[in-house]
Amino acid sequence: AGECDLFVGDWVPDPSAPVYTNSSCRDIEAHQNCMMNGRPDSGYLYWRWNPRSCELPRFDPEKFLDLMKNKWWAFIGDSISRNHVQSFLCILS
């Protein structure tokens, strides 16, 4: 089997509950809160990225935190990167 290319894939419906929502994560700021700002649907929460050449397991926060114990991380970038970091913090919490 070849290498897994995470960048080639599709967004697919995922009927399982989302990892976090606007109400379960305190790192989502008011201006980013779709539900609080009047978005009537929640269908956008039920999607996941599916690489075409491999299986992408669901993120395991406990395993990740265990592997990263006593390590330093730095996130550098723009507002898009900031959104990724906020999402990452939500997943970890």
Of 91 and 3, the one with more pLDDT: 91
- Whether the pTM exceeds 0.75: the reply is no
Please state, for a pLDDT cut of 70, what percent of the chain lies above it: 98
For residue 12, what are the β-bridge partners?
48
Mean pLDDT, rounded, of the chain: 88
The 3-class SS string of 34-84 reads CCCCCCCCCHHHCEEEEECCCCCCCCCHHHHHHHCCCCCCCCCCCHHHHHH
Res. 10: pLDDT tops 90: yes
Cβ atoms of residues 7 and 52 within 8 Å: no
Residues 17, 22: Cα–Cα separation, whole Å: 13
Res. 42: pLDDT tops 90: no
Res. 54: pLDDT tops 80: yes
